[in-house]
Structure 1
Amino acid sequence: MTRAAANPAAGRIDTAPMLETAAQLLGPDDGPDVLPPVAPELETLTALLRTHLGLLIPAVEAQAQQTDADSIPKFCALACVGEATRKLRIGDGCTPDVRVAVARKLARCVRALCDHYEQLGGGNR
C-alpha cells in the first residue's frame, strides 16, 4: 500500500502516495481498462482515499483562501473542495459494481484536489 501522505514537520502534504492510490483504481489516464481490485483490497483503497480526502480538503481550502479574492484558480479549487466533501458523504455501496464506482469517484476527487493543491503552491512535484 502507500506510506503516510502527511509530512507534519514540513507542514506540507506529500501528494505522490495519494496519486499512486488513485492510479490503482483509475490507471494513468482514467481509462475503463483498469480492472478493479478484489473486495478486501478495494475496501482498503476506499478507506485510504477517504483519509487522503480528509487531509486534502482542508489543505486545499486553506491554500485557496490565501490567494487573491477574485482568483479563478481559487474558485475552481473551492468548487472541487465542495464536490469532494459531497462525495465523502456517499456510502461505500452494497454491490460490487457500486463499490467500484464509489471508489473511482473518490479517486478522481483525490486527483483533482492534488492538482489544485499543486497549482496553489502547496505541492511537491
Structure 2
Amino acid sequence: MKAVPKSELTHAATLILLCVSSASVFAAKASSLPEDIDSGNFMYEMCKGGSTGRAECVLYTAGLAQGIAIQAIANKQTPSYCKPDKVTYGQVADIFIKALHDEPALRHLPAAVIFYGTMVKVFPCE
C-alpha cells in the first residue's frame, strides 16, 4: 500500500474541519429558526424584509415554480398553471407577496400551498 503524502493528509484534514465547522454554524442557525418556517406567515415577513428578504423570496418562488414544472414533466402530466415565458421570477414573487398580503386568513397554511393556488388562479392554462 502506497503512503499518502503529508500535504494531502493536511488538505483532507482542513476540508473535514471546514465541513464540521460549517455544519455546526448551520445547525446553530437552524435551531434559531421559528417553528412555522414553511408557513405563509413566515414567508410574508421574510418577503417584506428589505433587499435581502426580496432576494430570498424571488429565489424561493423560483424554486417552487421550477419544482412544480419538473414534477409535471416527470409525471407526464399537463401543467397545473401556465406562466407566460416573459413573466419574470421577480413578477412571480410580487404576485405571491400580493396574495399573502391580500389573504391573511390563509397565511397559516404552508407557503407552497398558497403559492400553488395563487399560480393556478393567476396563470390558468387555456
What is the TM-score normalised by the length of structure 2? 0.36
Greater helix content: 2
What is the TM-score normalised by the length of structure 1? 0.36
Larger radius of gyration: 2
